Amino acid sequence: MAYMPSNQTNHLEAIMNGPATPYLFGFIGWYVMWLIQLQLTVFDYALGVSLIFLPAGIRTLAVLIFGFRGAIGVFLGSVISTSGYMGHVESLNFFSICIIAAVSAFSSYLMMALVCWWRRIGSNLDELVFRDILSIVFTQGLLSASLHQIIYAFHPIASEYDHPSQAETLRLWAAMATGDVVGSMIMMLSAVALANYFRRAYGATS
């Protein structure tokens, strides 16, 4: 089996360790996943709510790999995507859009920090296991959905959010939380599968 030459390995490590890489990963990753998300209208439950939300997986990967800097990149990408998606909503101004983007970007970072504090995991995440990742995925999905629904209650972005019943509010919240969790799991499992592929392809000599 072929292996990756050392100069290619060094080049890849230099890119990963570059000062702009965390921000670009979060920004480009979020925006690319957002463009893909726009094609998955079959999973849309309401404006701003999808039963499978792939960008949520990018924000989880961004904070796990790059920490707070990755979250900043996601925030910048989310500002642009939210502006394009909800810029027509009269109840939202640029400040409101930034708040929505901040919730999207930093909810995952906050839950990662809390899980790591609770589990006494170091900043290098060496002790992080799959159970901890699941905890981050589920808690960030619940937190993000809760904060988004609070924002939408004060700034209705569609008729569904204009004085909804408690049952409909619960359904909107559950649909958004489900979309975040499912999207994160799809991206996380895809990343693991891709990493295992490259490990087998380039990590061993024939």
Identity of the amino acid at 193: A
Residue 52 lies in a domain: yes
Residue 6 lies in a domain: no
The most confident of the ranges 2-6, 12-16, 69-73 is 69-73
Count of domains in the chain?
A: 1
Residue 1 lies in a domain: no
Is 13 within 8 Å of 20 (Cβ atoms)? no
Reported pTM: 0.84
Residue 186 lies in a domain: yes
Cα three-residue angle 61-66-70, rounded to 5 degrees: 75
Residue 2 has a pLDDT of 44
State the residue range of the domain holding 162: 20-202
Residue 2 lies in a domain: no
Residue 70 lies in a domain: yes
Which own/partner contact pairs does 201-205 have at CB distance under 8 Å and 24+ positions apart?
201/1, 201/2, 202/2, 202/3, 202/4, 203/3, 204/1, 204/3, 205/1, 205/3
Q: Is residue 173 over pLDDT 90?
A: yes
pLDDT digits (tens, 9 = 90+) for 117-154: 998 888 777 788 888 889 999 999 999 999 999 999 88
Residue 155 lies in a domain: yes
CATH number at residue 40: 1.10.1760
Residue 139 lies in a domain: yes
Q: Which position has the higher pLDDT, 99 or 4? A: 99
> How is residue 138 written in tokens?
């589920």
